[in-house]
């Protein structure tokens, strides 16, 4: 399957879907407190997407080949859970870190983003992992430009993570997105600059590095969805959906409550 180049009209639809996904995270932020269950966060997000935004939660009943349908509307990955954590009765406690992954469908177009949250007062080590992972995502975003290679993104992320003493999960990657939840290309979060497909204006894809405090090895839990670190070390992930423009990049999953870029980006 080839990489889809979006038209100006299609990009306009994507801007709407992506902004709405980010606004779900703005909405849910005050509720991420000690004592709340991940299931309650899922219910609140579901109702906001459906009743307020008029969106469809893309993860609900999503069933890629080899998987049973995903049973919830968002993913909630806590502490050593790497990705695709299934919301349930687990209560968040002070010191936890949690990733909330949101994908909306608006008028047939997908918007995909995730953020890390510290629940109460997280330990210094956990806060540092969140911060470095956020920087990794933006290091990758900064490498997006027409004529660049997708390997440029992976190298920038890998170098920043490993320089901090962390490891990059390799089994999952960013992806093209549009009318389909997952399109070409696959956007690896490790690699070598100058390799991979060449970026062109109109390409839209996610950059969503998963960074482990320990080793990069992972395993799947019995629910068939939740992925955890094998060594039980903490894991963090941030995600934005990015457009290749004529001169560089545009982050589509921004909203009023989105965290600002790191200082090195603003500079």
| Domain at 239, CATH number | 3.90.230.10
The answer to whether residue 201 sits within a structural domain is: yes
How confident is the model at residue 218, as a pLDDT? Answer: 98
* Mean pLDDT value across residues 243-259: 98
pLDDT in tens, 134-168: 999 999 999 999 999 999 999 999 999 999 999 99
The answer to whether residue 258 sits within a structural domain is: yes
For the record, the structure tokens of 165 come out as 């003493």
The answer to whether residue 3 sits within a structural domain is: no
Residue 1: pLDDT over 70: no
Sign of the torsion formed by the C-alpha atoms of 253, 258, 262 and 265 = positive
The answer to whether residue 132 sits within a structural domain is: yes
Say what the pTM is. Answer: 0.97
Q: Which of 241, 156, 145 is nearest to 199 (CA)?
A: 145
Provide the domain limits for residue 152.
Answer: 8-266
Task: Judge whether 164 and 184 are in contact, CB under 8 Å.
Answer: no
Count of structural domains within the chain? 1
* Mean pLDDT value across residues 188-198: 97
* Degrees to nearest 5, angle at CA 149 with 147 and 153: 125
Torsion of CA 103, 262, 164, 242, to 10 degrees: 40
Q: What is the mean pLDDT of the chain?
A: 97
The answer to whether residue 84 sits within a structural domain is: yes
pLDDT in tens, 15-52: 999 999 999 999 999 999 999 999 999 999 999 999 99
The answer to whether residue 70 sits within a structural domain is: yes
The answer to whether residue 149 sits within a structural domain is: yes
The answer to whether residue 2 sits within a structural domain is: no
- Of the pLDDT bands very low, low, confident and very high (cuts 50, 70, 90), residue 260 is very high
Which region holds residue 84: left if phi is over 0, alpha if psi is between -120 and 50, else beta?
left
Distance CA 173, CA 171 (A): 7
Sign of the torsion formed by the C-alpha atoms of 71, 43, 95 and 174 = positive
How confident is the model at residue 266, as a pLDDT? Answer: 72
Distance CA 187, CA 156 (A): 12
């Amino acid at each position: 399957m080839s990489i889809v180049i979006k038209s100006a009209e299609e990009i306009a639809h994507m801007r709407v879907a992506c902004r709405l996904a980010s606004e779900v995270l703005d909405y849910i932020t005050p509720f991420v407190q000690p004592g709340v269950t991940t299931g309650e966060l899922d219910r609140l997000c579901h109702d906001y997407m459906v009743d307020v935004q008029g969106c469809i939660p893309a993860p609900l009943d999503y069933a890629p080949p080899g998987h049973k349908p995903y049973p919830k509307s968002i993913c909630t990955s806590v502490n050593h859970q790497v990705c695709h954590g299934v919301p349930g009765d687990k209560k968040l406690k002070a010191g936890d870190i949690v990733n909330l992954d949101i994908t909306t469908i608006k008028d047939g177009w997908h918007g995909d983003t995730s953020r890390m949250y510290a629940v109460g007062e997280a330990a210094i080590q956990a806060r540092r992992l969140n911060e470095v992972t956020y920087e990794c995502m933006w290091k990758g975003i900064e490498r997006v430009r027409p004529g660049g290679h997708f390997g440029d993104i992976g190298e920038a992320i890998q170098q920043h993570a490993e320089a901090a003493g962390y490891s990059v999960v390799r089994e999952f990657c960013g992806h093209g997105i549009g009318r389909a939840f997952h399109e070409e290309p696959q956007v690896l979060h490790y690699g070598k600059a100058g390799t991979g497909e060449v970026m062109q204006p109109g390409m839209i894809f996610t950059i969503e590095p998963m960074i482990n405090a320990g080793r990069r090895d992972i395993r799947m839990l019995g629910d068939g969805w939740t992925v955890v670190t094998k060594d039980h070390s903490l894991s963090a992930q941030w995600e934005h959906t990015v457009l290749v423009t004529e001169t560089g990049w545009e982050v589509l999953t921004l909203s009023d409550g989105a965290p600002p870029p790191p200082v090195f980006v603003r500079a």
